[in-house]
Structure 1
Amino acid sequence: MAGAVERCDEDPFPRPDGRTAWIRWEIRPWRQADGSIGGIIIFSEDVTARKEAMEAQRASDARYRTLFELAPEGIVVADADGHYIDANTAICRMLGYSRDELLQLHASDVAAPAEIPYIAPAFEAVTAGVDYARKWQLLRKDGSTFPAEVVAALLPDGNPMGMIRDVTEREETAKIARAAEERTRFALQSAHVGIWDLDCLTGAFRWSEILESQFGLQPGTFEGTFNAFVERVHPDDRESVRATFEKAEASGGDFSAQNRVVWPDGTTRWLRGVGRILLDERGTPVRGVGISLDITERLLLEQEFQQAQKMEAVGRLAGGVAHDFNNLLTVIMGYCELLLADVGQGDPRGVELLEIQKAGTRAAGLTRQLLAFSRKQIIEPTLLDLNQIALDLRAMLGRLIGEDIKVVLGLQPELGLVRADRGQVEQIVMNLAVNARDAMPNGGTLAIETANVELDEHYSRTHVDVKAGHYVALTVTDTGTGMTPEVQARLFEPFFTTKEPGKGTGLGMATVYAIVARSGGSVGVYSEVGTGTAFKVYFPRADPAEVVVDAPAPSAEPMLARKPCSWLRTRRDFANWPGDSCSDWGTPY
């Protein structure tokens, strides 16, 4: 009969193949019938598999603990009620607690007050086996909070485990990046700079909203391909644009281009852009980035500035010529008067002298236009009502332009006053009316309109020497033949005319331009061939309480007085003027 176990142990034994076998053995006494020990019984069992499994478990537990403690993210294990039963070093450092302190807490103790209502649903989701992930605001021991990403899962023992990552630094970096991006976006939008990004491998072409607006498109309506971009380039510029991109893709690096684009409504705009094509290590283009700026207004300003400089130069020349010519004309007209006084009625020479006088009078008119154009003509600026001027001129215009042209007035009530010389304003209306008459050989309608308007900063940026503000607009419209863009481009150039030789001086529109510019205003034209032309003249609106009429400037054009002899004697041109002629005028020689 076997007795109780006397000894039990597990020992390793080498096997013939060199491996180790673990044997569990027991020694029990064998007793005889009288109770004495008759021998021993040895029981043995190969427990190698169990021993290896236990060693593997211990190694696994050690690895788990090492990973648990050394993990950079915080790790906590809680029971089903939310009380912490384990925590690693990282979460203790993150929350500011020791491990022993943390294991005395509940999940609600480390959550910001606003997060507490979400704790129970989170544990329910994890317990149900749902993969859980959410960003939380956690509460440190010192009362401060921080953002953390929490990922949780259910352990095999049924306890929830959460991995916690402090994302404070990441969110601060993202915040800084967003702020920098907002500043860049604001700067680009304020400067009206468009941005594009081209994926050379897929062909995807992305545009910013500013760039879409530069092409006359609504936000988000660009098709997103290079071909769609080229189709919106002006037909005359497409080849050069393609060549620029192809050259950049072949060599990489930066490039620049200036070209016209055509909006859906037919408007043409000028754009200037710079870009960069990025190549991979094999030299294949992979990406292109760039910016674009609408330079239409700048080009218009440059053209207007160049035109203004040209007009100024021609004006100085014309003013000098007109001044000297006017003096010579005074001599001619003076001698003509003397000769007419000497010839009797019926003398055939009188007819010839009258023709000379008529030619001199026409020359004097030309001189006045030159002086007006060169801004050397005497002006008397006063407060004027353009409505009243239009009404006063209506009858004269009817006789001037003929019965086959209908004159229509569209005058705004309570029109603002302007500060200008009445004679020059009338000259503007007459010059524009004569131009309209010549454009309507078969008759038509001439409309004269007035209105109070406000010119904004956009208009000011595209017109030299024009400030934004309140203006009075004088619009003269005809239903004539209209003008081509080429004619419109040269319309205000002095001595430019489309009329036949001898039928126009080319100073009418140049004079209008000079008078308006002198008053601080602006003149523009819109014309379509076969439809008609509209001139808009803007005069600064005057405040009657602030207007001070300028004193007349010294005369730039000497005129014959009623009794001119005292002045004539100082002129070398009249050195041989007969003394008795002056006596005829009642002035002693």
Structure 2
Amino acid sequence: MTPIRLRDRLFFKQARTAVLVAFGLGLALSLFQIAADVIRENERIDQSVLHSLETVKDSAAEAAFEVNAKLARKVARGLFGTDFLNKVIIKDDFGNILAHIERPLTTGYLDWLAAIAFQKNRIHQVPLFVRDEKIRVGTLIVGIDSYLSAASFFERSSLIVVSGIVRNLLLAGILAFLFYLSLAKPFLATIHELGEVRPERPDKNLLPIPDGHQRDELGQLITTLNSFLVSLGRNLEGREQAEQALRDSERKYRGLMEQASDGIVIYDFEGDIQDVNSALCSMLGYTETELQNINFREIVSPQDQAETPLNFEELRDGRRLLRERQFVRKDGSFVHGEVSAKMMEDGDLQAIVRDISGRLEAENSKKEIENRFITFIDNSPYGVYLKDLKGRFVIVNKTFAEWRGIGVDEIVGLTGFDIHPAELAEQFTNHDREVLNSNETVTKMTKSLFSDGQEHDLMDIKFPVKGIDGKPLYIGGINIDVSNLIQVQQDLKEREEDIRLLLSSTAEAIYGIDLNGVCTFCNKATLGFLGYDHEEQLLGKHMHSLMHHMRKDGSVYPAEECRIYDSIRHGSGIHVDDEVLWRRDGTSFPAEYWSYPIKRNGEITGSVVTFLDITDRVHAEEALLQVQKMEAIGNLTGGIAHDFNNLLFVITSKLEVLKA
């Protein structure tokens, strides 16, 4: 008999067909399964991230609301413990980054496949709200390192695909082998196949019934064996699936526990701790083994238990209890925690412990700041107040209350119409509207009746107290009692007017100059002597250039040689009566002047100059000098005449003698 080539044999053709069909179907089903698993894996990642974000959202909102970078970094670090996160950013509502933690994305040879299936750089943004989700205070942003999940997923998927292919190939090979045996030795084939059955998966190696043997003993035996193998395989597969589901559940639960930023403890109704996560170990300073060997009561401070005893029986009805507890660390220090406890389905108790030490510290710090603020404004000599947008007083200091003769607590909640006359209250209300409309500081001068029965002048400074969105939340105000200042200004004005009248009524010319010789004031006599009509013609002008720029002989008189400035240079008064001053029309007149330094706080700031027109006096002195000269000439002429007469007498006498 001619040998049949292997490729032409019936069992080979059947095997080849079975292999191709099994391979195609197995590959298609595996790819479909992988695609479905990709969707579920993406959903699982998103749910895990959203769960983590929900856990820390309130703390992040608190950090953004208080612009507390320290708390924001703490929240970010806690959230960053999640192994598939590579980025955590917390921003306030202005876009300012309060915390930013980031690590490089994991890379590998599966980058391109991970990018297609899981999106390489996935970002989740959660708006942060406070006050019943009404006020947005910032944004919490996290980035997912999808490569970590992708690598593990594709590793599992590869195993599934390969195992499916191998399983299908193996099944096809077995079928081919059975085809071969069914044509030769059915019983030997059956015995051989029974020996090849895997005990762990007997249903995967079903024995084929040879053609023509369906109704004989072999067929019945194979049918019975196959039924037994299928039943056994189902039982084994069900048990294996149950064990795998249990392992998966335990792994997921352990993963959630370890990824949680809050402490988690499992204990029974006696308080004996069964399990803890690493967050609780870090919070209390114990190892996991140490905590599993102690009772829950040992980690709660005795003082806390004395005030609020632990009663685990309260949890038997399935209620969730939320309390604040003071826990004792291993080193004896205390940590404040918020405990959420509930009974689980297996009868044990689970407690989630959140460290609120930072929150309590922030609350205490806030109270201290508020106390400092109240102390500060209560010691202010000015009236300080804060109103809401309806004009009701929210905060007032003692000065404001004492001015009105009302207690601080009594004013809170009232409006201006409750403590002021209607006309004045309406005026203050208009000021409030002006502040809100302009969104800027407004300063007004007004009058108010104080508790002393007197009407006082007030400087009312109002300003908007804005929220993070720039819109006014309150109206702040400061009242300054300027009654004394106004009286002082009035007195000063009257004194200045008296001095001005005095200067205007004096006959001497008086003016003042600064250190640069510029006129700062002058009286009417100065204008009259110099030929000017208004003081504005001299104020701000350089006086030396106007009236003292030339000497008597018409030569230039340099300012640096001017003796008027000697009072500024030497700090003492000077007196000059041998110079001339020049009028506006270019004529000059002899003058006598005095210059004295002006000092303020010991510093010379200028000088005051007084001068007189001494033209009449100079003329009188010149006339007197002329008279004195004429008298001298007369005396000289009389002497000469007397001497001449004496000489003539001698000569005459001599002539008489000669004649005799």
Q: Normalised by the shorter chain, which TM-score bucket? A: 0.3 to 0.5
- Greater helix percent: which structure? 2
For normalisation by structure 1, the TM-score amounts to 0.41
- Greater strand percent: which structure? 1
For normalisation by structure 2, the TM-score amounts to 0.37
